[in-house]
Structure 1
Amino acid sequence: MKKFISIDMQATGKQIKKIMLQQGYTINDIKEYLYLKNPQAIYKWFRGESIPKIDVLFALSKLFNVPIDDLIIGESLIIDNQNGTNKGANANE
């Protein structure tokens, strides 16, 4: 069996939204800070449809004054090579 860690897009989006709200930022604040033309990308992060690129994660970590690791939620997948099945477990590292 192999252990593989991937980013949980839904949990990461929820985490970014949670930190944003805790610190009193609005979607418009984030949009302007990142020089986005519209907030659609931000809504996609919140819904877990996509995740920010690394340069955006870096910018958000600076804005929120938190390490990038605090923005990303990982998921450990154990892959059974014999029968091709995956078992997921949340890895909040």
Structure 2
Amino acid sequence: MKLRKNAGLSVKDLQAAFGFNAPQAIYKWQNGEALPTVDNLIGLAALLKVRIDDILVLNQPAA
């Protein structure tokens, strides 16, 4: 959600970009309930203007 908001995109924007009929997949991605397919992950990184790692890697506390 943070990356999406930083990119100035709404859930509806992503839904339209991926051609989804409903926004449930986007919400599942945001809530960590599901991961995008590899193809969708590449597209998501491009839309959000971030690296794939930025989407997949959770912020780890400093050791």
Cα displacement string for residues 13-66 of structure 1 (whole angstroms, at most 9, x for unaligned residues): xxxx11100111000000000111100011111221111111111001111121
Higher helix share: 2
Q: Which structure is richer in relative contact order (CA contacts within 8 A, separation 6 or more)?
A: 1
Distance 2:57 2:45 in 1: 14
Distance 2:55 2:31 in 1: 15
Taking structure 2 as the reference length, what is the TM-score of the superposition?
A: 0.83
Q: List 4+ stretches of structure 1 deviating above 4 A.
A: none
Stretches of structure 1 lacking an aligned partner (at least 5 in a row): 1-16, 75-89
TM-score by length of 1: 0.59
Number of residue pairs matched by the alignment: 60
2:8 counterpart residue number: 24
Alpha carbons 2:7, 2:49 under 8 Å: kept: no
Q: Which has the higher strand share?
A: 1
- 5+ residue gaps, structure 2: none
RMSD: 1.5
Q: Counterpart of 1:69 in 2: which secondary structure?
A: helix
